[in-house]
Amino acid sequence: VTENDAEEAHFAAQRKAAFSYMSEAFAEGRLDGIEGDCLAQAALFAAMKEFVEVYGEEPVAVFAEKLPARIRAGEFTVDRSRQ
């Protein structure tokens, strides 16, 4: 296992844990009566704010420009039967 492989495995584990935290936060919000779209908008705002703080506005804008194609390609679709 190379150092790069170990770093990628560590980062993948962190992403998985972060997704779990976000899923739990969404579930708690829904239990408190907050609609899913409100939670999603707040999560997107928080994510973009964090990205801008870490990477700066222009790199985040370039990242965001690629989102429509990724959305249309189904990258964020988990269950197509719900559409």
CA distance 49 to 81: 32
In this predicted model, what pLDDT tens digit does every residue of 11-69 receive, in sequence order? Answer: 999 999 999 999 999 999 999 999 999 999 999 999 999 999 999 999 999 999 999 99
Q: Judge whether residue 80 has pLDDT over 80.
A: no
Phi-psi region of 56 (alpha: psi -120 to 50; beta: other; left: phi over 0): left
Q: What's the pLDDT score for residue 72?
A: 96
Cβ–Cβ under 8 Å, residues 76 and 70: yes
Q: Is the model's pLDDT at 81 over the cut of 80?
A: no
**Residue 79, pLDDT score:** 78
Mean pLDDT of 2-11: 91
Question: What whole-number distance in Å separates Cα of residue 58 and Cα of residue 55?
Answer: 8
